[in-house]
Amino acid sequence: MSLKIENLSYAYGDHMVLDKVNFTISPGGLTCILGANGVGKSTLFRCILRLNDNYSGHSYLNGFDSRELSIQELAKQIAYIPQSHAPAFNYKVIEIVLMSTTAQIGNFKGPGEKEKKVAMEALERVGMADFAEQGYTQISGGERQLVLIARALAQQTKLIIMDEPTSNLDYGNQIRVLSLVKQLTREGYTIIQSTHHPDQAFMYADEVVVLEKGNIVHHGSPKEIISEPMIRKIYNINVEINSLYDDLVRVTVPIDELTNR
Amino acid sequence: MNEKIQTSKIYFDSVIVGLTLILAVGFIISFMLGKYPIAPAELFSILASNVLPIDQTWTDQQAVILYHVRMPRIILSVLVGCCLSAAGAAYQGIFRNPLVSSDIVGASSGAAFGAALAILMAIGNLGISILAFVFSIGAVMAVGFLSKKVKTNPVLGLVLAGIMVGSLFNSATSFLKLVADPNEQLPAITYWLMGSFSGAKLEDIRLAIIPMAAGLIPLFLLRWKINILTMGDDEARTMGVDTKKTRAIIVIAATLVTAASIAVSGMIGWIGLVIPHLSRMLVGSDYRRLMPVSMLMGASFLLIVDNVSRLTTTSEIPIGILTSFIGAPFFFYLISREGEKF
């Protein structure tokens, strides 16, 4: 699934959040969106998902303007994974996953055996099949994030958008979730996620898009894009980027604390 | 309860069969209960005489009581119980809040005001139904609108807006009582506000059945969609649900059955809160199971409570008072159990 954003602008009242954003994401691969708080990462996602419907410009999915699609048709193209949350009612894990099959079934129908099979396969894919009958509010935050990924898989789309998928997770779960995401891209999924960690982008991303004040300022591979001056510019801190294991991976170290010692 | 059992098909089917049996048995027994005895044999002969040529072994009085006193009352209590529970379950889903019912979202106080106004204007039973619905949907929309103003805490916003709109309509109803004719209208309004099936007539069923069916059918058909709406508008939309349209249909359907119930039975509180919760304990949160179970359980519950109401004392206790006596302690139990969620 390719995604092409063309001259996309969005304003909350007088406040321009996105100003003529342009970029293209080719099928397959993990794209990380980097940017400081409030630069419009979430707004960009909301426009692509048409949760903010009155944007100007275009968002093309495989060449089709997503505005021409109904809500149901759009749901067959893009799945969305929110940050892990606690719903008002204690659904079973399997029921949470089944919810995403709604776009595939009739208006007055509930999911049947076919959808149940899809949902169970998705749970198996993320390693949560044993939790199917457990209460969603009784499992841990990391497990919930995996269930939400399974839900996106059960939606049977090729494009998945994740809003800071690791923000509420402990260190181990962050790594587990990101490795799973990476594996999914190898299986042909196109995944876009927002993140606040340059190191995550170095470790996992195929492409990085950097947003600043509603504009795309950089787009390319992590090693091309993420540099000490760039981080200083968008996050306003000084870092040193170190190359490890013959430049297999790079890590950023905030250095102000070190030089002040 | 073992969670695996709760979602198994056999368990759900047996719950449905069990509740249907309770309702059916309760329904038949209710015909025989009352100050004027009708024995089982007589009951079946009277009913069977409609289709079979049977010699009359019963008094005409028994047939009159059966058809004109007990039948309307029994059918109405079943219908109203079903409607109020279904509406309560639907409101809880739509407002994403397990402590919501038609009382809290303003539907009841709006309907009460509309109906009192119709009694005051003496515009007949149809007028009561129409005004009850109009003011009921107005109150729900006002609560929905006002609750959004409290942005940080949606539960608090909903409760505050509900209190506000509810008390506004309650005061307006009090004002109507103040200006009502104290000999005729005032007792009619007052007694009606207590909630009762004692004056139930066949005509009431004819009046209420159409709006009730028009509301219950979409609530039943769209029950899977309610699940998705409980996840919030953004998530529901990304999963392909047209949230505005679906929510509007469900709110209108729930308010329609609430207003239709209140128009024929007066104010019967708490059932819309209590029954969905009992159902949730029995079959879990999934509305595919919750909705039919709430409907069946609510029907049996109100039928049984109405039997208690008409049999226990010589001057019968209005059923609205009884449901409050059961509902208020149950609400306390809910808060103490789920209090940590707030």
Q: How many A×B Cβ pairs under 8 Å?
A: 83
The DSSP-derived string for chain A is --EEEEEEEEEETTEEEEEEEEEEE-SSEEEEEE--TTSSHHHHHHHHTTSS---EEEEEETTEEGGGS-HHHHHTTEEEE------SS--BHHHHHHGGGGGGS-TT----HHHHHHHHHHHHHTT-GGGTTSBGGGS-HHHHHHHHHHHHHHTT-SEEEESSTTTTS-HHHHHHHHHHHHHHHHTT-EEEEE-S-HHHHHHH-SEEEEEETTEEEEEE-HHHH--HHHHHHHH---EEEEEETTTTEEEEEE-HHHHT-
- Provide φ and ψ at A166, rounded to 5°: -105, 5
Residue type (1 letter), A216: I
pLDDT, residue A29, reads: 92
Question: Length of chain B in residues, anyone?
Answer: 342
Q: Which residues of B touch A123 (CB under 8 A)?
A: none
- For residue A109, which residues of chain B lie inside 8 Å, CB to CB? 224
For residues A211 and A39, the answer to whether their CB atoms sit within 8 Å is yes
pLDDT of residue B3: 54
Q: Give the per-residue SS3 of B84-108.
A: HHHHHHHHHHHCCCCCCCCCCCCHH
Strands A29-34 and A207-212: parallel
Residue count of chain A, please give it. 261
Q: What is the pLDDT of residue B164?
A: 93
Q: Is residue B29 exposed (0-12), middle (13-18) or buried (19+ Cβ within 10 Å)?
A: middle
Beta strands per DSSP E along B50-147: none
Strand partners of residue A24: A4
Q: Where are the domains of chain A?
A: 1-77+158-226, 86-156
From B282's Cα to the closest Cα of chain A, the distance in A is 13
Residue of A nearest to B154 (CA): A88
Q: Tell me, yes or no, if B60 comes closer than 8 A to chain A by beta carbon.
A: no
Nearest CB to A92 within list B3, B228, B242: B3
B227 touching A (Cβ < 8 Å): yes
B239, A155: Cβ pair inside 8 Å? yes
Any idea which fold A1-77+158-226 has?
Answer: Rossmann fold (3.40.50)
The closest alpha carbon to A49, from B244, B250, B233, B148, belongs to B233
Nearest to B240 among A72, A133, A134 (CB): A72
- Residue B303 φ then ψ, to 5°: -60, -45
Predicted local distance difference test score (pLDDT) of residue B7: 66
* Angle at CA of residue B193, ends B187 and B199, nearest 5°: 70
- The top-level CATH class assigned to B3-50+58-341 is mainly alpha
Half-sphere exposure of B64 (CA within 13 A, CB side): 3
Beta carbons within 10 angstroms of residue A43's beta carbon = 22
CA distance A19 to chain B (A): 23
| Positions in chain B short of pLDDT 70 | 1-7, 154-155, 338-342
Residues of A in contact with B7 (CB under 8 A): 92, 94-95, 133
Which pair of tokens denotes residue A74?
């759009």
Q: What's the pTM? A: 0.90
B277 inside 8 A of chain A by CB: no
CB within 8 Å: A50 and B239: no
- Angle value at C-alpha B227, between B226 and B232, nearest 5 degrees: 90
Edge-to-edge order in the sheet of strand A64-65: A15-25, A3-12, A56-61, A64-65
The answer for B 1-40 residues in CB contact with A (under 8 A) is 3-4, 6-7
SS3 state of residue B341: helix
Q: Which residues of B touch A76 (CB under 8 A)?
A: 240
Q: Closest Cα of chain B to A142: distance in Å?
A: 19
Q: What is the pLDDT of residue A149?
A: 95
d(CA B79, CA B205): 9
Show me where the domains of chain B are located.
3-50+58-341
Contact criterion met (CB < 8 Å) for B242 and A135: no
Those residues with Cβ within 8 angstroms of residue B44's Cβ, 6 or more apart along the chain or in another chain? none
**Shortest distance, CA A257 to any CA of chain B (angstroms):** 36
Distances (CA, A) of A182 to A154, A206, A208: 18, 9, 14
Q: Report how far apart, in Å, the C-alpha atoms of B163 and of each of B133, B144, B146, B148 are.
A: 19, 12, 11, 14
pLDDT (0 to 100) of residue B40: 86
- Tokens representing A33? 């969106």
* Terminal-to-terminal C-alpha distance of chain A: 50
A108 to B97: CB separation less than 8 angstroms, yes or no: no
Residues on chain A touching B6 (C-beta within 8 angstroms): 92
Sign of the CA dihedral running A99, A104, A107, A109? negative
Which of B93, B224, B239 has the CB atom closest to A110's CB atom?
Answer: B224
Chain A residues with CB within 8 Å of chain B CB: 46, 49-51, 71-72, 74-76, 78-80, 82, 87-92, 94-95, 99-100, 102-103, 108-111, 133-135, 155
The reported pLDDT for the residue numbered B178 is 93
Whether A109 and B224 lie within 8 Å, measured CB to CB: yes
Which H or E element spans position B26?
Answer: helix B9-32
Residue B248, both tokens:
């509007």
A84-95 core/surface letters (b: 16 or more CB in 10 A; e: else): beebbbbbbbbb
Mutate to test the interface with B, among A66, A71, A115 (most CBs of B within 10 A): A71
| Token digits of residue A30 | 């993990």
Q: Chain A contacts of B93, Cβ < 8 Å?
A: 89
Does B49 touch chain A if contact means CB atoms closer than 8 Å? no
Q: What is the reported pLDDT for B331?
A: 76
Cα distance between residue B226 and residue B243, in whole Å: 10
Residue from the list B97, B223, B228 with its beta carbon closest to the beta carbon of A88: B97
What are the residue ranges in chain A where pLDDT is below 70?
261
Among B7, B238, B241, pick the best mutation site for testing chain A contact (most A Cβ within 10 A): B238
